[in-house]
Amino acid sequence: MEFIDLKAQYKAMEKEINAAIQNVLNHSGFIMGKEVAEFEGQLKEYVGSKYCVTCANGTDAMVMVLMAWDIKEGDAVFVPSFTYMSTAEVVSLRGATPVFVDIDIDTFNIDVESLEIAIKNVISKGELNPRAIIPVDLFGLPADYDKIIPLAKKYGLLVLEDGAQGFGGTLNGKRACSFGEASTTSFFPAKPLGCYGDGGAVFTDDEELYSILSSIRVHGKGSDKYDNIRIGLNSRLDTLQAAILLPKLKAFRDFEMDLRQEWADMYSELLTDAVKVPVIPEGFSSSYAQYTIMLENEERRNIVQSKLKENDIPSMVYYQKPLHLQTAYSHLRYADGSLPQSESASRRVLSLPMHPYLSEESIESVVSIILDSVG
């Protein structure tokens, strides 16, 4: 069994993907070829944003936005601690300071009460200038933007949605990657919509920001690539990756999201009395980038994971150590216990195989082992 079965996905659309790759080989427009613009057009239509700028990866997508906003040394950017390193890393790359915030233990997303406390603490200390919030749509579930955005406005902060895992999820009918002043996603192969390498995108309704981002991704170009009007990056989505993503986006829209929901519902129905299954609040939907359960403690989690491994069933722990306790951020002096929900989640979570090409039999096999392990 595969944790994410990219081979099965390829076989399901082999003809379309091969034809798309061959078309690029034929026209040889490998950098910023016509497929890139076509893909950007379909992306912004799907998400519901006015503008889309693709780039080399999801990390660059966030860096580009922070560059455009002139986030710099002395600035504070608020990020959840229970997420992947890149969310905080991009802040540090700009010389700014990530301020870590705890999560809601039910949704694993940033806790708004903890967020406001962190904002007030930074303001009261007066050492940093609060500039932005980067909520994360963890495991496919959008963060609570109905509460985050008003809070950001209250304190004059920008909101950058990290939708690397959220693509396809919704909040009150509005799709992930359409919240805040800017939103980003990743096309890393394991993401809900993944390419065969690295790729990313930024979404915004701000025309000026769109113009700046379009410049930044090509070395800060102006009228042409030899007219450099700002410091930028070399961060373009390869035409081959855009071509691959076009049929994959169609499959994602047409049936993959429905299958993700079907398998998640089956997991939840079979497991709900034995473990804590994902909580999807009213008005939200998840794209289930991961299907993540939570056990009563670390020992029980490790037992379940070992039993799955014995039966050749892969599982993953996202994330084994929250960011505020990572060595790279030891200089910020967060103590053990300072963000208790993030620390609790890291000891108790376990992500199960999740992708559109599962089967009832495979899910029943996973569930049977879990039930035996916790019974």
Number of neighbouring beta carbons within 10 Å of residue 332: 14
Place of tokens 């790359």: 93
Asked whether residue 375 carries a pLDDT value surpassing 90, the answer given is: no
What is residue 255's three-state secondary structure?
helix
Q: For residue 239, what are its two tokens?
A: 């035409």
255-374 fold: Aspartate Aminotransferase, domain 1 (3.90.1150)
pLDDT attached to residue 225: 85
Positive or negative: CA dihedral 237, 241, 244, 248: negative
Bridge partners (DSSP) of residue 351 are: 292, 316
Place of tokens 């102006």: 222
pLDDT attached to residue 326: 98
Q: For residue 136, what are its two tokens?
A: 């994360």
Cα–Cα distance between 183 and 107 in angstroms, integer? 20
Half-sphere exposure of 105 (CA within 13 A, CB side): 14
Contact by Cβ (8 Å): 245, 238: no
Per-residue pLDDT tens over the stretch 214-266? 999 999 999 988 999 999 999 999 999 999 999 999 999 999 999 999 999 99
Cα–Cα distance between 160 and 152 in angstroms, integer? 11
Contact by Cβ (8 Å): 69, 91: no
Contact by Cβ (8 Å): 236, 214: no
Identify the CA nearest to 159 among candidates 149, 173, 168, 169.
Answer: 149
**What is the band of 33 on the pLDDT scale with cuts at 50, 70, 90?**
very high
6-247 fold: Aspartate Aminotransferase; domain 2 (3.40.640)
Contact by Cβ (8 Å): 76, 122: yes
Question: What φ, ψ does residue 160 adopt, rounded to 5°?
Answer: -115, 110
Cα–Cα distance between 244 and 267 in angstroms, integer? 30
Looking at residues 312-335, what average pLDDT do you find?
A: 98
Residues of the chain with CATH 3.90.1150.10: 255-374
Contacts of 99 (CB under 8 A, 6+ apart): 76, 77, 78, 79, 118, 122, 128
Cα–Cα distance between 342 and 321 in angstroms, integer? 9
Looking at residues 28-44, what average pLDDT do you find?
A: 97
**What is the band of 91 on the pLDDT scale with cuts at 50, 70, 90?**
very high
Helices (H), the chain: 6-12, 14-27, 34-47, 58-68, 86-93, 112-125, 145-155, 207-216, 239-251, 257-271, 298-310, 340-348, 360-374
Q: For residue 306, what are its two tokens?
A: 């070992």
Looking at residues 333-359, what average pLDDT do you find?
A: 98
Asked whether residue 158 carries a pLDDT value surpassing 90, the answer given is: yes
Gap between the terminal Cα atoms of the chain: 23
Determine if the pTM surpasses 0.75: yes
Cα–Cα distance between 274 and 369 in angstroms, integer? 12
Contact by Cβ (8 Å): 359, 7: no
Per-residue pLDDT tens over the stretch 264-311? 999 999 999 999 999 999 999 999 999 999 999 999 999 999 999 999
Q: What percent of the chain has pLDDT above 90?
A: 99
Residues of the chain with CATH 3.40.640.10: 6-247
The rounded mean pLDDT for the chain is 98
pLDDT attached to residue 43: 98
Looking at residues 33-62, what average pLDDT do you find?
A: 98
pLDDT attached to residue 190: 95
